[in-house]
Each structure stands twice: as C-alpha cells, then as structure tokens.
Amino acid sequence: MQVIRSIAELRNWRKDAGTVAFVPTMGNLHAGHLALVAEAHRHAQKVVVSIFVNRLQFGQGEDFDAYPRTFDADCAKLEAAGVDVLFFPTEAELYPRVRQAYNVEPPNLQNELCGAFRPGHFRGVATVVTKLFNIVEPDFACFGKKDYQQLAVIRGMVEDLNSPVVVVPVDTGRADDGLALSSRNGYLSDAERAEAPRLYRNLSLIREALAGGDSDYAALEARAKDDLTAHGWRVDYVEVRHAHSLEVAHAGEKHLVVLAAARLGRTRLIDNIEVDR
C-alpha cells in the first residue's frame, strides 16, 4: 500500500490508476470501515482510502482535538485489506488558506436531525467530500448507512451538482448485541457499553411496529425516547422519516427510515434502520 500525503502526488498516481473506488474516513478504523473497503474492491480496479480528521465538520465544544488518531494501527488494517493507496493529507495540504472560503451549502435538511445539534456539520462534510472527490476523482465512493443523514447529503450533492461519482451505500456493521460499529464506541465505559445496544433495540421495536402497519410515528418515537431517558440516556432525537428524502413521513408512507441520536454519558451515539413496508 502506498501512503500519499500530497495532492500533487495523488493526482499523478491517479493518471494511470484505471477505475478507482474511494472510501473517505477520519481514521480510527474498525470493521465497519473495512466493510466499506471490501465493497469498494467490488467496484473498481484500485481502492483509495483517505484518513483526514476534518476540522470543518466539528462544532465548537465537539471532540476534534480528542478525536482518536491511530495512524499505525489504521495502516496495518488497510494494508491487510488490500488497499492500494492511503491518502493522508495534513491540514495545511487540504486547507492551505486556513479558512475555507468557498463551501458547498446543503439545503435546509442540513439543519434537521443531527444537523439541529451540530450547526455547520453537514456543510463541512459536503465541502470536504467535494474537495476529496476533486482530488481523488473516483469512479465510485462508498459511504456507510450508519451515518444516514450524511449519506443523504452526499447523494443529494452528487445528484444536484452532477458529480461524476457513483455513491455506493454500505449496510451498517454491528456488534453481536446489535450496537452499530462506530469510532465513538471507544469512548464508552464498560457500563455504558453494556447499556449502548438499547438504542438499536428501540429502533428495532419501532421497525416491527411500522412493518406491522402502525403509522402513529409520534407515539412510537415517544415510547423509544421514554425508554432511553428512563435508562440514563439524553435523547437528541428519535424520528421516523421518508427513507430517501429524509422529509417528515406521511402516515402510510412505504419507504421509511427510523433515525436516532442519544448521549450516554459524554458519548453521542447515532443509529438508524430502514423499513420498507
């Protein structure tokens, strides 16, 4: 595996690389990321992974400085996964002017769900992904469904700005007890880790109810929030939405997604489940 740190060198490599599938990450890699890499191999001759902790998508008081940097361990995993190029730029390489002046601005969806709790987050995601797409020029790019709203923003952006990239959504990797794999799981104490699967269990209960024909979204959301709160969670949201647009779902809607974000101690966990009925 080649580790490339400069944009110029990456562009030079890209010229003769054939088809490329790309997996942008912030490092601290786990099995969920490796599932993205495995999917990437199915689409193109070469696989590029980037590791870049993107300051632009962290808000004030969020965990940018504390975000785990585990470069050596990440390299070993990517090497073993057959990645061709790891793109690992410095902040100065990606943000030479310090302040990013031109931004990709998503529509109002960016201020709902997670966006309501993380102002500017999805602008930061859309902008860095645009930059990375322009540098790597991938044919395919893999994004996990775990960050469902992020996936929706990237898909919308690619479609609306005509990016020449095919977005490949990849199912969420889970621990045996259902907890969605996430870099932030590493922040959990043993007791919190034991409690954490409750988020997925509540989403599963809502899925069962929806699949059975229940369309009282508000009641289903409230029941899940109550259960989480009763067990020490601080709930940001539990919402049933239209699966593709992420708009508020009408009763009887067939393609749904149930999304949730909640905090256990200092750790914010998110998860979601799609429901077709």
| Binding site feature residues | 26-33, 57, 144-147, 150, 173, 181-184
Residues marked active site are found at 33
Least distance between a copy of itself and beta carbon 231 (Å): 38
| The binder of a copy of itself chosen from 47, 126, 203, 235 (CB under 8 A) | 126
Instruction: Quote the radius of gyration of the chain (alpha carbons, Å).
Output: 19
Residue 17 or 262: the one with the smaller Cβ distance to a copy of itself is: 17
**Class of residue 196 by CB neighbours under 10 A (exposed 0-12, middle 13-18, buried 19+):** buried
User: Is 134 one of the binding residues for a copy of itself (CB under 8 A)?
Assistant: yes
Under DSSP, is residue 141 helix (H, G, I), strand (E, B) or coil?
strand
Piece of 36-44, 66-74, 159-167, 174-182 that binds a copy of itself (CB under 8 A): 159-167
C-alpha 114/C-alpha 7 separation (Å) is 31
- Tokens standing for 229? 């709160």
Under DSSP, is residue 205 helix (H, G, I), strand (E, B) or coil?
helix
Report whether 207 contacts 275 (CB < 8 A): yes
Report whether 80 contacts 199 (CB < 8 A): no
| The binder of a copy of itself chosen from 97, 218, 251, 252 (CB under 8 A) | 97
User: Is 127 one of the binding residues for a copy of itself (CB under 8 A)?
Assistant: yes
Query: Over the range 115-140, which residues count as b (16 or more CB within 10 Å of their CB) and which as e?
Result: beebebbbbbbbbbbbbbbebbbbbb
Residue 110 or 202: the one with the smaller Cβ distance to a copy of itself is: 110
| The binder of a copy of itself chosen from 41, 55, 68, 100 (CB under 8 A) | 100
Strand pairing report for 255-264 and 234-242? antiparallel
Residue 72 or 99: the one with the smaller Cβ distance to a copy of itself is: 99
Binding characters for a copy of itself, 7-26, by CB under 8 A (x = yes): x---x---------------
| The binder of a copy of itself chosen from 27, 106, 138, 144 (CB under 8 A) | 106
Of 30, 14, 8, the residue nearest 185 (C-alpha): 30
Under DSSP, is residue 110 helix (H, G, I), strand (E, B) or coil?
helix
User: Is 51 one of the binding residues for a copy of itself (CB under 8 A)?
Assistant: no
Least distance between a copy of itself and beta carbon 108 (Å): 9
Piece of 53-61, 111-119, 152-160, 211-219 that binds a copy of itself (CB under 8 A): 152-160
Piece of 138-146, 154-162, 169-177, 202-210 that binds a copy of itself (CB under 8 A): 154-162
Site residues (CB under 8 A) for a copy of itself? 7, 11, 97, 100-107, 126-127, 130-131, 134-135, 137, 156-157, 160-164
